[in-house]
Amino acid sequence: MPPPAVQTEFTERQFAEPYPDGIERHYWTLARNRVVLGAVQRALEGETRRLVVDIGCGRGITLDHLRAAGIEVLGCDLGHAKPISTAIAPFLRHGVDAAELPADVRERAGVLLLLDVLEHLPEPASFLDSICTHFPNAPTVVITVPARREIWSNYDEHYGHFHRYDIPASASLFDAGRFEVIRRGYLFRLLYPPALALKWLGRKRGVSIAPPSGAAVALHRLIAAWFGVETALLPRRWPGTSLMLVLRRK
């Protein structure tokens, strides 16, 4: 595990390695964006406060996808990442703590996103409690984290993860007296067997991701479509490489 002094914000290099230009066409990004969009749309049903705040938004990749679907969303991040597009730049607040967003923004928020953020923190439940104090009117929090401790690898160490979570361990992410779980389940089941095989073989994972181009773009769309099918049809407890939780305040 990383040392206690690990920084929670990404450096420019750390943003560039997993999120290069064109990463929005990668199957993993496409699949996660679609799952998050579905969760946000369900959370906003009947919600008068329509603003979604993506905390730890990075380059704004998911934010761009949500805005294209008609969702009002704003992103903030402690780091200074290059926006994924010039069109999305006005909706990103880089170098800004979520608690420092203007009060009117925080009060209008109805849904909070913490997408692959909490694994970078030594005390995620305390952070979540603090965040919710600053967003008093947002009843729903959508969380994704890396899953399954048995596939811990050099990738986790490289990016400063403290944990990978299974379903029981995910209880440490939040205060059960404050939140109820609306949805909890694994994502990316197809990736779990090869990740486990790499671990057994003692092989290292690549820490950079190459975006698809040319004919590979269509293949990535097909793979992303499969991940949508498995998320919809397979039991949520079947292991995957990511875990998603939708929490609602009690």
Give the model confidence (pLDDT) of 35-50 as tens digits: 999 999 999 998 999 9
In this predicted structure, the answer to whether residue 31 has a pLDDT above a threshold of 80 is: yes
Residue 9 has pLDDT above 90, yes or no: no
Q: Is the pLDDT of residue 3 over 50?
A: no
The predicted-structure confidence for 50-75, as pLDDT tens digits, reads as follows 999 999 999 999 999 999 999 999 99
Tell me how far apart the alpha carbons of residues 241 and 227 are, in angstroms, rounded to a whole number: 12
pLDDT score at 14: 65
Extents of the domains making up the chain: 12-249
pLDDT, position 4? 39
CA distance 191 to 188: 6
Over the stretch 117-141, which tens digit does the pLDDT of each residue have?
999 999 999 999 999 999 999 999 9
152 within 8 A of 162, measured Cβ to Cβ: no
Q: Which option is the CATH number for 12-249: 3.30.450.20, 3.40.50.920, 3.40.50.150, 3.65.10.10?
A: 3.40.50.150
**Residue 23 · residue 211 · CB < 8 Å:** yes
Rounded mean pLDDT of the chain?
Answer: 93
Reference 195, options 151, 165, 158; nearest CA is 151
